[in-house]
């Protein structure tokens, strides 16, 4: 093709270095084994805590009705809720430490926490 400059040996070295850096970064972020984790479900003055590998379906009472939360397959999600906009249901499944989901109108909060999460829980008074 006209106008293309041929690659030189140092170009290949730079491309190889960028690829190796990308692979290393991916491994460091996603390749670590997950620490022990559990699901914390909070609703109207009660807190339920289950291991992340539990198989549970909970009906959490709230001011506008019951929110159904499922813990299954190393994750959790809101199956159904009485709220009008259904944002909590549409949010889908959470499965990594630090992720959370909430049904704000019904005051139900789900959080995946693990070892070393003492001060990372979002402030529940703000929701």
Burial label for 80, CB within 10 Å (0-12, 13-18, 19+), is middle
Owner of token pair 């109207």: 44
- Rounded to whole angstroms, the Cα distance separating 74 from 37 reads 9
The average pLDDT across 93-113 equals: 91
Query: What is the SS3 assignment for 96?
Result: coil
Give the tens place of pLDDT for each residue, 50-65.
998 889 999 999 999 9
Domain 37-126 matching CATH 2.60.320.10: the answer reads yes
pTM of this structure: 0.64
């Amino acid at each position: 093709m006209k106008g293309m400059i041929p690659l030189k040996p140092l170009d290949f070295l730079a491309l190889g270095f960028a690829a190796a850096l990308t692979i290393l970064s991916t491994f460091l972020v996603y390749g670590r084994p997950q620490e022990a984790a559990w699901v914390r479900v909070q609703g109207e003055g009660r807190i339920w805590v289950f291991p992340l590998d539990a198989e549970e379906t909970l009906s959490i009472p709230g001011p506008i009705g019951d929110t159904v939360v499922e813990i299954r397959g190393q994750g959790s999600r809101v199956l159904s809720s009485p709220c009008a906009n259904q944002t909590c249901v549409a949010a889908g499944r959470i499965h990594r430490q630090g992720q959370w989901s909430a049904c704000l109108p019904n005051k139900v909060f789900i959080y995946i926490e693990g070892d070393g999460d003492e001060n990372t829980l979002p402030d529940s008074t703000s929701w």
